[in-house]
Amino acid sequence: MFRPSPYEALQVLPPEERELSGKERLLLASGPLLSWYRREKRDLPWRENRDPYRIWISEIMLQQTRVEAVKPYFFRFFEHFPRISDLAAAPEEELLKCWEGLGYYSRARNIKKAAEILTEKYNGIFPESYGEILALPGIGSYTAGAIASIAFELPVPAVDGNVLRVLSRVTGSFDDILKQSTKKKMEALVSEVIQPGSAGDFNQALIETGAMICIPGGAPLCSQCPFFTVCAARSQGLTEKLPVKTPKKKRKIEEKTVLLLEYQDKIAIRKRREDGLLASLYEFVNVPGQLSAEEAGALLDQEVWPEPLPEAKHIFSHVEWHMGGYFVSLKEMPESLPGEESGPALFLTWEEIRKEYPVPNAFAVYKKYLDQRYGGEEE
């Protein structure tokens, strides 16, 4: 069990006669930072050991996703793919089904490509070189730094959004954290102060500070922060102004009508195209625009009575889907269905769809409706 020296955890008093550089601020706080992390760090499943495979998958899953939401997916993933070679050999559809609900499905495709390279080139073992890790598909500088430092103790930075927020406040930087130049500048700063032997803990301590203390979307918990005495934003009253972020562009709104089409107790789904948004995943039949019940019935060329479904909204990074829909019992198998440019429809039981076909959580409201209608809960 880690026991800090009685002095290591003490906050330092910076000199009053001059302004500290960013490097000096980080160096002065490095002891308290490491002591705080080793004492207060969260108990997370990917921290149980330094297996680079587990670290890699956890870091990819945690992109754009909350820690608590990731945990069940993490356990499920390693039940399906305990070794890198298992992931490399898995059919893409099995992987996407396992990933269902996490979103950003290009992440799953990239980890499969990387697993194939690791299996073919490295016999299923992670290379211990930062450059070789960085060269793998879907791995950027942050993920490569996290794997290299945590698994192999290489003194390389792992700077993500949490760390950029912490560093911007500690150093009093007004650089836009959404710019690559700012990220590179902060990576260089961390590279100057990170120490061999504690690189993994140092990077995780910065990440943990951003997640637990210097939090997004709320006032930082400065009184609990290991950077309390050296933080420029705290001492200068700038915590509400930093970090600086360019406002995001407004998302495009797309309206859709979802049609849950039932024929002989089977529901229609179809596979989306192999490129673009939600590529190669399965969806319910849907058409652009918000249709009335009469308009929806007319599309199907049958005498049917559409039953209204709940409205739903799903937010992607650059677009929002605003959805309404109808449940429709068809009297006969249709020759064609509206919007089939994505692929021909398959009529399957809801149980088959739930167990075998990856339907993204963009349709979560309609999946829940079918769960209630046919029984069962989503995994």
Tokens 């211990």, located at residue: 128
Per-residue pLDDT, 122: 97
* Single-letter residue type at 184: K
Domain ranges (residues) in the chain: 22-235, 252-374
Topology of domain 252-374, CATH: Nucleoside Triphosphate Pyrophosphohydrolase (3.90.79)
Catalytic residue among 16, 19, 48, 59: 59
% residues pLDDT > 70 (the chain): 93
313-332 burial, b at 16+ Cβ within 10 Å, e below that, comes to ebeeeeeebebbbbbbebee
* CA count, 13 A, side-chain hemisphere, 373: 19
| pLDDT tens digits, one per residue of 336-356 | 788 766 667 899 999 999 999
The pTM for the full model equals 0.88
- Does the pLDDT at position 1 exceed 50? no
Tokens of 12: 């330092």
Tokens 């356990």, located at residue: 75
| pLDDT tens digits, one per residue of 134-145 | 999 999 999 999
| pLDDT tens digits, one per residue of 193-212 | 998 899 999 999 999 999 99
22-235 placed in CATH 1.10.340.30: yes
| Cβ-based neighbour number of residue 160 at 10 Å | 22
Per-residue pLDDT, 162: 94
- Helices and strands, counts by H and E, the chain: 15, 6
Per-residue pLDDT, 15: 63
DSSP state of 160: -
Q: What is the largest CA-CA distance in the chain?
A: 85
Active site residue 132: no
